Amino acid sequence: MSEKNDSFDPFDPTGMLKSMRESSMDSWSKMMIQLVNTDAYSQATGKLLDTWLSTSAPFRKMLETIMTQVLTNLNLPLRDDVISLAERLTNIEIRLDDLEAKLEESQQVESKAANTKSPSRKGTGPKAHSNPTENQP
């Protein structure tokens, strides 16, 4: 449908600008690839990152201290408080899952035992101890 035509069109006012832009982008791309793939560039970037991390550490620590004081004064939970609460809730959830599994297991054992003893007896099984108001319309 639309094929790229690289020939010069005298009636296209932006054609020359487009071709100049494409050629400059190609040359910049090649130059930057050559620059970034050098060992000197990687060493300079490494030194820059090391310097930035070492100088930003005291500022980060100071900001953390200030935020702790502000949150404490506003009676808001700290990050450690939220993490502790999340750990406790996870522990509670795990325990509830374990209890649920044990309860289901014991119900299955009871229902199997009730079925093997006397399947014709009424009033046994899981619904024997149900609330009498549940069956009313």
Residue in this structure with the two tokens 């090649």, named with its chain if needed: 30
Exposure string for 31-46, b = 16+ CB within 10 A, e = fewer: eeeeeeeeeeeeeeee
Domain boundaries, the chain: 37-76, 77-115
pLDDT tens, 7-33?
Answer: 667 777 788 888 889 999 999 999 999
* Chain mean position to CA 125: 45
pTM: predicted TM-score of the whole model, two decimal places: 0.42
pLDDT tens, 49-76?
Answer: 999 999 999 999 999 999 999 999 999 9
> What is the C-alpha separation between 119 and 137, in angstroms, rounded?
27
Neighbours of 125 (CB within 10 A): 15
> What is the C-alpha separation between 71 and 66, in angstroms, rounded?
9
